[in-house]
Amino acid sequence: MMNSQSAYGQCEALFAAYPLAVQCVDWAGELHAMVLMVHDGDRSDFYMLARDRSEDKPFYSLASWRPEGSRVDIEADCVAVPSATASVLSRGIPLPCHGSLFGWLQEREVTALLAVYTEYAPEYPEPSWAVMPLADAPAQRWPPFTGQHFGSWFWEYHGAGALVSLAALVAANPGTVFWTGIQGMPGWDCCVVSRDLKSDTGYVLARGSYLNYQALQQGVKVPPPDRWPTGVLKTDLAPLLRPLADASRC
């Protein structure tokens, strides 16, 4: 068993250290959550860590990522938490918010995208993520984590500035970055950037089509942005990423 002060402090530390993993759950802005992944060999388990700030002092709860899972409350004045809960809090790797989009930088240019999906749905039994290189980029420019299981490398690369959130850049340029369907499942859609976008910090999201690396390995071809057939459904990502671009959301 972990004592409550340690567990409570661990919860506070996770929310403070990983703001990109924190998502508002209610309109009042009082309930927040993050998804934690615990990886053992070939198996990964996922949990939802929630923070409720509706009272004077926040309290936390940990549950299975799936809605039917049991819940453990973590309050500052409780006696202790189960060892399994303590293990998740100490070993869990936070996942970025559902719908997050990141860019892999090489020489100040985005050569691949990383999309993250953490919203539960019966047809998607686990969170997922997709590495999506620029379709015409050589494999030598693909990220070194291509094909790897999600892990602490994400936060290490993000801390080093090699992985950057694209939420603010895309949200500020509506009508420029789109999802367009290929196989109808997360990770296999294509992200189309209609023109070069330069960020305030100087990196460039290059014009082009970005596709899941597995599709590229299988030889799937996608046209450049100006040659997509008319009538293909495209979803503008600017409105979807605008909430994630708002740093005051939590």
CB count within 10 Å of CB 241 equals 22
Q: What is the DSSP letter of 16?
A: H
Report d(CA 241, CA 147) in Å as an integer.
25
Give the model confidence (pLDDT) of 85-121 as tens digits: 989 999 999 999 999 999 999 999 999 999 999 988 8
The residues spanned by each domain of the chain are 2-95, 101-249
Contact between residue 170 and residue 176 where contact means Cβ atoms under 8 Å apart: yes
Distances (CA, A) of 22 to 29, 49, 172, 176, 202: 11, 10, 21, 26, 26
Tell me what the mean pLDDT of segment 218-223 comes to.
86
Tell me what the mean pLDDT of segment 194-223 comes to.
92
Q: For residue 141, which of 156, 150, 152, 131 has the smallest C-alpha distance?
A: 131
pTM of the model: 0.90
